[in-house]
Structure 1
């Protein structure tokens, strides 16, 4: 019997081949749209700070910095280093965080969220994200199937 096609593994292999700047440009564009729509406004404490987010099951890593209150791509010269704070998780866990279905503490203690770098900065980001309002469409998305947000 032949082995079944492992889709997550295939996506991860492809994701690791996507150039980091390409991933960062798209990710930062999404953050900027959210910021401009007032869904995700970075607090002053994040000014000039650098971040990296890795979607581990997709093999995608995005590096960015906050400059003048806006998200900007950060080009990794050393091939993966340089971020003051790095977060890593699977796509489903990041989506659960975005929808406020779970919190960062829960994922961290369940070893589903990896955090490394500046701990104080990590706490600032965690508190900021916990306090950020979720857009109505995102809340409805999280309730599909649970009865929440469904008329």
Structure 2
């Protein structure tokens, strides 16, 4: 079962008004939790680059850096990023669960990628190769 969730339009309006630093802190907290609990270790090629993940239907833009294998928030809303990924919450969850892959989402125009294409391929291959923890499937009723 994949998560099918369409938030109300007003939620995206609220999300777009939230300060970048606040959104980024929460996004980084999730990435760091995944890194520590699930062994989500970013490849060395990601170090020193800034990234943006935009959850389009929630109006949220998480901006972060990868430094020495750890994720760190970026507090400037207009910060330059090396790679930007945009999709809906449901599509990001499906990507994280491994029920859909980045290629499928990209070719269905549900995942937008901009920036450094080589870095994008590294991220895609890393996500495809990452082992998903069992608790992630249970969290969304896939056990």
Same fold by TM-score, threshold 0.5 exceeded?
A: yes
Answer yes or no: is 1:56 the counterpart of 2:66.
no
1:89-117 per-position Cα deviation (integer Å, ceiling 9, x unaligned): 00000011011110000000000000000
Counterpart Cα distance in 2 of 1:43 and 1:7: 33
CA contact (8 A) 1:20 1:62 kept: yes
Higher relative contact order (CA 8 A, sep 6+): 2
Counterpart Cα distance in 2 of 1:80 and 1:104: 26
Structure with larger Rg? 1
Q: Which runs of 4+ in 1 moved over 6 A?
A: none
Counterpart Cα distance in 2 of 1:7 and 1:135: 26
Match of 1:126 in 2: 124
Answer yes or no: is 1:42 the counterpart of 2:42.
yes
Counterpart Cα distance in 1 of 2:102 and 2:8: 23
Give aligned pairs, total: 138
Match of 2:65 in 1: 65
1:44-103 per-position Cα deviation (integer Å, ceiling 9, x unaligned): 111111100000000000100011211001122xx4340100000000000110111100
For structure 2, the 5+ residue unaligned runs are 1-5
Match of 1:93 in 2: 91
Residues 7 and 103 (structure 1), Cα distance of their counterparts in 2 relative to 1, 3 Å cut: closer
Match of 1:33 in 2: 33
Match of 2:24 in 1: 24
**TM-score using structure 2 length:** 0.90
**Over the residues paired in the alignment, what is the CA RMSD in angstroms?**
1.6
Match of 2:3 in 1: none
For structure 1, the 5+ residue unaligned runs are 1-5
Residues 101 and 38 (structure 1), Cα distance of their counterparts in 2 relative to 1, 3 Å cut: closer
